[in-house]
Amino acid sequence: MRYERSDLMIGTVQEGLQALVDGRHGDPFSILGRHQYGDLVVVRVLLPGAIGVQVIEAETGRPLAELDSIHEGGLFAGVTGSTAPYFYRITWPDAVQETEDPYCFGPLLGDLDLHLIGQGTHYDLGRTLGAIPMEVDGVPGVRFAVWAPNARRVSVVGDFNAWDGRRHPMRLRQQAGIWELFIPRLTHGERYKFELIDAHGTVLAQKADPIARASEAAPSTASIVASSRPFRWNDDEWMRSHRDVRSGEKAISVYEVHLGSWVRIPEESNRSLDWVELSQRLVPYVKSLGFTHIEMLPIMEHPFGGSWGYQPLGLFAPTGRYGTPEDFAYFVDRCHQAEIGVILDWVPAHFPTDVWGLAQFDGTALYEHADPREGFHKDWNTLIYNLGRNEVKGFLIASALEWLEHYHVDALRVDAVASMLYRDYSREAGEWIPNQFGGRENLESVEFFKHLNSIVHERCPHAFTVAEESTAWPGVTKPPEEGGLGFDFKWNMGWMHDTLHYMSDDPVFRKYHHGGLTFGMIYAYSERFMLPISHDEVVHGKGSLLGKMPGDAWQKLANLRAYFGFMWGHPGKKLLFMGCELGQQTEWNHDGSVIWDLLDQPGHAGVQRLIRDLNSLYNNEPALQFSDLHPEGFEWAVADDAENSVYGMLRSSQDRSSRMLVISNMTPVPRQSYRIGVPSEGRWEVVLNTDAEIYGGSNFGQTEVWSETQPAHGKPHSISLMIPPLATVFLKWRG
């Protein structure tokens, strides 16, 4: 039976058909797909460039209809006479394709999902929005969903439709501003983006998926459909047994690394290692040095390598620079099997302005503040997340949980916290907007951090959070219920600046700045601190850590060893950036590599060996762990000898059964018969001396000393010690 053209266009208007063909129709499901009008069953499909289309009954494979071209823009329609499941057989100029109709499927996301997304409390966005391989009504394919409430039309584009925004326009779920579409027969590995038309009718630059779980490596910018197949983890024991790390009672010693410049392969165009190679080389190396954790500069997908990852756009996607998401999971698994925790730097403060990213995502300031006084970072030329918007808060918290839950990451170090806490951060008068009470505090960020840390602690018992916060904001590591922000640890930036400034002085002048090494203990227990010697201290013209040390080549290495000894002897968790453990002579270059040839030189190999032994001592001595967080485990043995630049720290375990005396001499003058008061009589064994020959030192000093009943420094007993030049000595009480 032949049908009239008017039968094929029933239920439509010419303007709607034209808008559909032009790629500007906001409700494609009202026209496309199968529609029943009384006894008439009409099927319509938009396939620009197709030569012909047949409708095939899915169960029997028999043709139901040959569709007519009803618009030169590629719109086909026909009457099937059947409501049975069907698929299309499409004839293209160079191929024949068979696929189900995307527009025969009903709404995909449930009302609860939409409600939670709108409330900002849907914490599994990585499995709800974005691109999810799945079966719908027994048909395999990929469900796409994206938040764009102010767009007039959103389409999925990719290799599968020649990046043509007319081919796959999406359905709008009005109550949450979510657009969704199931495209049959697609699978993981497909490249895609979203094409949006804003409220004014302007076609925007094609956008990468904000929730993409995989992305092309820069400079390419497409999102990739990630596999939904669960990774086979082998770290059950680790996940169970490391739930007490958050307490801070154990040693935490962190090796910070920029993966792209840790090792490069000169013979292969100077490429970086991939995740599998890193699991084979980085993990054993970190294990051999005794670090408890690897901290990686942000590995979330980012467009510009020179940002080191601190301007990410793919907050759910491990960067494609080092391999697939499955490869990253394998790396984490190998770390855990080697009993090494994984910390990721994570950036909720800001994002870059690239047109294919989050900026003006649906033609409006969706993720960012509209007012540049709130929404633009002049320092970094980046946009600031609008934390006053529920969906944005939910997006960021879901990102954090993606790494902690789905990738088993052990901790997040939150970058640039200070920039988020203060509305006038790096702004002059008139360049910022006060809060509702007229103050400079960013109340939305405060609430965000409290919420973030509460959720992480509730859902991820194995995980902890660290704040990079450079001001004296109170209660960064106090629980939210006590008025704090809820972080588990805070980088002690003040300690880092003070001690490095002191060490850069010529030893002749250090006596005038004696407080540079003691001041940190005045506030050491006001927060739960980590002592960071990070990438920021060895880049941008600051020189290397070794380069900061005064003196000739021998004295530079001796100063560095003494400083490391002081750092490991000082209360606080430890963090050291890659290359510093070798005494690298040049500052970090993200396009280069750690200068591993330095290990051929005994002095530099000695520094590496010292770091290994310091970590071993820290990992095995309760006295060096308990007083990280408990002031009753620390006291100064010598704090006021500015003339000789000598420092003494006495550290004890909770039950006092383990005691460690840490003595530092920050001058090149050896100290003979230096008397130091001690709380207990008996033998004190030298368990580490940074001046030992095995580290490249002069081997000055003793192996043990016995206490005498001669009071000193307010103690009933004392020892007479030979203190090496430019060295730190650890003495363990043997009773």
Residues 387-424 have pLDDT tens digits of 999 999 999 999 999 999 999 999 999 999 999 999 99
Contact by Cβ (8 Å): 467, 476: yes
Rounded mean pLDDT of 87-107?
94
Phi, psi of 17 (to 5 degrees): -65, -40
DSSP 8-state code for residue 370: S
Q: For 589-597, which contacts have Cβ atoms below 8 Å and span 24 or more sequence positions?
A: 589/261, 590/258, 590/260, 590/261, 590/305, 590/306, 590/308, 590/539, 591/261, 592/261, 592/264, 593/261, 593/262, 593/263, 593/264, 594/261, 594/262, 594/263, 596/263
Residues 552-599 have pLDDT tens digits of 999 999 999 999 999 999 999 999 999 999 999 999 999 999 999 999
Does the pLDDT at position 371 exceed 60?
yes
What is the predicted pLDDT for the residue at 3? 63
Contact by Cβ (8 Å): 16, 22: no
CATH (one of 2.60.40.10, 1.10.150.20, 3.40.190.10, 2.160.10.10) for 111-224: 2.60.40.10
**H-helix or E-strand containing 650?**
strand 646-652
Q: Is 527 a catalytic residue?
A: no
Q: Any idea of the CA torsion for 347, 348, 349, 351, to the nearest 10 degrees? A: 80
- Please report which confidence band the pLDDT of residue 2 belongs to, taking 50, 70 and 90 as the band edges: low
What is the predicted pLDDT for the residue at 243? 84
Return the percent helix, strand and coil in the chain, to nearest 5: 30, 30, 45
Domain 492-735, CATH:
2.60.40.1180
Q: Cα–Cα distance between 561 and 690 in angstroms, integer?
A: 6
- Alpha-carbon Rg for the chain, nearest whole angstrom, is 31
Rounded mean pLDDT of 297-318?
95
Rounded mean pLDDT of 173-187?
96
Q: Cα–Cα distance between 509 and 695 in angstroms, integer?
A: 26
Residues 209-236 have pLDDT tens digits of 999 999 998 899 999 999 999 999 999 9
- Please report which confidence band the pLDDT of residue 242 belongs to, taking 50, 70 and 90 as the band edges: confident
**Taking all residues of the chain, what is their mean pLDDT, rounded to a whole number?**
95
CATH 2.60.40.10 residue window(s) in the chain: 5-100, 111-224
Q: Cα–Cα distance between 572 and 552 in angstroms, integer?
A: 31
Q: Which fold has domain 5-100?
A: Immunoglobulin-like (2.60.40)
Catalytic residue selected from 405, 415, 621, 628: 415
Question: How much of the chain exceeds pLDDT 90, in percent?
Answer: 92
- Please report which confidence band the pLDDT of residue 735 belongs to, taking 50, 70 and 90 as the band edges: confident
Contact by Cβ (8 Å): 549, 566: no
Higher pLDDT, 14 or 459: 459
pTM of structure: 0.95
Q: Cα–Cα distance between 355 and 372 in angstroms, integer?
A: 17
Catalytic residue selected from 100, 368, 444, 468: 468
Higher pLDDT, 531 or 735: 531
Query: For residue 387, how far is the Cα from the chain centroid?
Result: 18
User: What are the CA-CA distances from residue 543 to residues 239, 558, 586, 589 (Å)?
Assistant: 39, 18, 6, 11
Alpha-helical regions (H) of 338-477: 372-375, 390-401, 417-421, 443-459
Q: Is 415 a catalytic residue?
A: yes
Residues 324-345 have pLDDT tens digits of 999 999 999 999 999 999 999 9
User: What are the CA-CA distances from residue 716 to residues 33, 333, 677, 682, 706 (Å)?
Assistant: 91, 52, 7, 12, 14
Closest CA to 499 of 529, 527, 466: 529
CATH 2.60.40.1180 residue window(s) in the chain: 492-735
Closest CA to 690 of 619, 634, 613: 613
